[in-house]
Structure formats: structure tokens, C-alpha cells
């Protein structure tokens, strides 16, 4: 588990706030014991002597002396509350809302009520179903921002289609055509497909479509427009 955690840390953390005394000790210990580890913000957890450490888009817990590192969910039993998920969602939210929209294929008006970022595979059946209903999402005030996640990997036909969509003169038309199963012109150019895939892996995407809300909450699989707007409205009401 720990090896997988280290392997998943591809990106450095965000700019760090000044550490308090305990966090500074944790940072110093981690730098000494794990000099190759890239980590971001270190903050006290609700448990005395235990600190939260941001690793890419994940969260780990480290003891104050830096000796013990734990990965998992921290539960407040008395309050019956998950303390880890909201923090992880906040990390993912910062990552997803800071992305450059010029590197996406977007359906919907710029000032839509809701943004949903979708990791998509051109050949995925439920990805195609979602896209076939794109007008329904837009009618509900949902703006769909596509990132590429060809599950078969680099060099696959799905990967080539993703690159061809990106390199097309009209990306939206090419996306719609490809997702309808129609052939599109094979093209190559500088593209974000591999970086999209790396981001998806960092964020824990395991299948497509994977929907990420601006709150950082991830919803796996196809969700019809009426159900998705209900989720988004509920999230907005809970803020």
C-alpha cells in the first residue's frame, strides 16, 4: 500500500502555508526519512499528535515524530462523521477548478449554473450514452467539461481516437461523431491526452465515465441529467 502511495505522487503539492511547530517537525522528519517523497501542506488533524499530509491529490496521516505514516479513513466515532473525505474532496476541488479550460472539450455555455468535469473514453458504452444526452444536461444548466481517459491505454485505438478528436478542426463535432461510432479523420498533434490520464489516475479514476463536481466529489458511472441536477442542487443547498 505504501509503495502504491509513493508511486501515485506524480505532482508536487500546492504552495504551502507556514508550518506550525509540530508540522515543521513532521516536515523535517519526512524530508530526512523519505527524501524522495513530494508532499504539500501539513496540518494538525483532529487527533492529538497526528498530522494530515497532502500527497498529490491524496491525504495521509503522520505521527508528530514523522516515524509512522497511515493511509485510510479517519472517523469521528462520537460524531459518526468521516473526517477524511471532506478534506480529500477539498484537495480534488482545488485541482479540478484550477484546470485550464482551453485544454478541455466543453459542451455548454460559459456561464452555466453548474460545471461537471467528465473523464471520458471515446469507446466506452456509458460514455457514449451520456454524450447522446448532452442536450439534456445543457437544458438543466449543466456544463460538461471533457477530459480524456482512454482505458485501454497509450497506443490503443481509443487513445488514437482521443488524439484525433483533440487535433480536429472542430473538436466538439469530432467528439460527437466519434462517440456516435462514426469514423473520424486520424490526426496527430500536441495534445493533453496523457496528462489527462495522469490526472485521472491521481484522482482515483477507475472507470469511465467518471464525473467530478467542482466540490471535488467524484461520481463513478453514467448519471442521467435529472438525477445529476438533483445532486448538484443538493450540494449547492448544503454549502
Q: Which of 27, 121, 145, 196 is catalytic?
A: 121
Q: Which of 123, 127, 128, 143 is catalytic?
A: 127
pLDDT of residue 239: 61
Nearest C-alpha neighbor of 209 from the set 224, 195, 194, 198 = 224
pLDDT at 187 over 50: yes
pLDDT of residue 16: 46
Residues 79-101 have a mean pLDDT of: 92
pLDDT at 9 over 50: no
Q: Give the global pTM.
A: 0.82
Domains of the chain: 2-94 (3.10.450.70), 99-237 (3.40.30.10)
pLDDT of residue 23: 87
Mean pLDDT, the chain, whole residue set: 88
pLDDT at 152 over 50: yes
Yes or no: say if 157 and 122 are a contact pair by the CB < 8 Å rule: no
* Residue 170 a catalytic site member: no
* Residue 124 a catalytic site member: yes
Q: Which of 124, 128, 145, 196 is catalytic?
A: 124
pLDDT at 1 over 80: no
pLDDT of residue 22: 82
Yes or no: say if 233 and 215 are a contact pair by the CB < 8 Å rule: no
Q: Which of 128, 143, 145, 151 is catalytic?
A: 151
Measured distance CA(31)–CA(23) in Å, rounded: 12
Instruction: List C-alpha distances in Å: 29 to 14, 34, 35, 172.
Output: 20, 8, 9, 49
Amino acid at each position: 500500500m505504501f509503495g502504491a502511495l509513493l508511486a501515485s505522487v506524480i505532482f508536487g503539492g500546492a504552495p504551502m502555508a507556514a508550518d506550525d511547530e509540530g508540522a515543521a517537525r513532521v516536515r523535517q522528519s519526512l524530508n530526512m526519512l523519505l527524501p524522495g517523497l513530494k508532499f504539500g501542506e501539513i496540518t494538525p488533524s483532529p487527533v492529538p499528535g497526528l498530522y494530515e499530509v497532502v500527497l498529490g491529490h491524496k491525504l495521509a496521516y503522520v505521527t508528530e515524530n514523522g516515524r509512522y505514516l497511515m493511509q485510510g479513513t479517519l472517523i469521528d466515532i462520537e460524531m459518526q462523521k468521516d473526517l477524511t473525505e471532506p478534506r480529500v474532496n477539498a484537495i480534488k476541488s482545488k485541482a479540478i477548478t484550477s484546470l485550464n479550460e482551453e485544454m478541455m472539450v466543453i459542451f455548454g455555455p460559459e456561464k452555466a449554473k453548474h460545471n461537471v468535469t467528465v473523464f471520458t473514453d471515446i469507446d466506452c458504452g456509458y460514455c457514449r450514452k451520456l454524450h447522446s444526452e448532452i442536450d439534456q444536461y445543457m437544458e438543466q444548466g449543466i456544463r460538461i467539461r471533457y477530459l480524456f481517459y482512454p482505458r485501454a491505454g497509450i497506443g490503443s485505438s481509443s487513445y488514437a481516437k482521443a488524439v484525433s478528436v483533440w487535433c480536429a478542426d472542430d473538436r466538439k463535432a469530432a467528439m460527437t461523431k466519434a462517440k456516435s461510432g462514426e469514423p473520424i479523420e486520424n490526426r496527430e498533434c500536441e495534445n493533453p491526452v496523457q496528462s489527462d490520464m495522469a490526472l485521472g489516475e491521481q484522482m482515483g479514476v477507475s472507470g469511465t465515465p467518471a464525473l467530478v463536481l467542482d466540490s471535488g466529489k467524484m461520481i463513478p458511472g453514467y448519471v442521467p441529467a435529472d438525477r445529476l441536477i438533483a445532486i448538484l442542487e443538493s450540494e449547492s443547498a448544503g454549502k
